[in-house]
A = this chain, B = another copy of it.
Amino acid sequence: MNNRRTFIKRSLAGALLLSTPNLSAANSMEAQDKVKQKKAKPNDLFKLGMAGYTFVNFKLDQTLEVLERLDIRYLCIKDFHLPFKSTDQEIKDFHAKLAAKNVIGYAVGPIYMKTEEEVANAFEYAKRVGVKTIVGVPNVSLLPYVNQKVKEYDFKYAIHLHGPDIALYPDALDAWNHTKELDPRMGMCLDIGHDLRNGCDPVADLQKYHSRVFDIHIKDVTEASKAGVGIEIGRGEIDFPAFVKMLRKVKYNGVCSLEYEKNMKDPFLGIAESIGYFKAVVDLT
């Protein structure tokens, strides 16, 4: 009679039967290709995923149950689900849990980095987690150091842009300007809602800056201004058909991860409505 049933802990027997994922390969394109997400448009290069932050108020088991039921196969890992100090065994167990739900942790972040030590720790963490993309928010003064680490680890570094709320990296142009002279693996996580809230056109920005777009947060917002807030996809101001057309035009082959920030203590209906709407846009565009 209540939907706590959603979160009844299932037996982990299924997980234990699965072979331990090969961490170094866990996020290779080969491994990702094995995840058979139902696609109406099988030629699409982009994938549908979930930003871990959407589940800031929920445990990993609950998060994975929702992903399984919505057929979402890619998760950007937040540290509240996999703490920075996790042991190698804990990381292994984490990946096994994801694998049991057909989910791949494809990147970590967003991670805020205010010191060189925090940058260094984040790269070591990502390496131990087995991903090759970090979504991060480094202080601007740290960009040369981040650039050096990107070369050292051969990672992609996706700066998360955050609209008018904070001074750091408000939009795609700003992230572009901060990275265009750096290693080509320095780029951005294009948050289409925050980009719009900063008065930009996220579809045009995807076209202009796609060579440095390594991750995308999809969401909808009520207004193209600082006053805009998160809302179910389809109810707001983002032009999703144009966005999906542009994903195809620029051959974006990363993940579009839903970052749903409305009613975060009870987001499930909104997450599901958003995913349903986005899937239809992909099917019909």
Contact = CB atoms under 8 A, between A and B. Distances in A.
Interface of A: 1-7, 38, 57-59, 66, 69-71, 232-235, 240-241, 265-266, 268-281, 283-285
A278 B234 CA distance: 11
Contact of A268 (B57, B268, B285): B268
Nearest to A285: B284
Contacts of A235: 38, 71
Contact of A272 (B240, B276, B283): B276
A274 B279 CA distance: 10
Nearest to A57: B1
Contacts of A283: 234
Given A234-B280, A276-B276, 5 more contacts: A6-B266, A6-B268, A269-B269, A271-B272, A280-B280
Given A235-B38, A280-B234, A273 B275 contact: yes
Given A274-B276, A284-B285, A70 B234 contact: no
Contacts of A285: 284
Contacts of A273: 70, 272-273, 275-276, 279
A135 B121 CA distance: 64
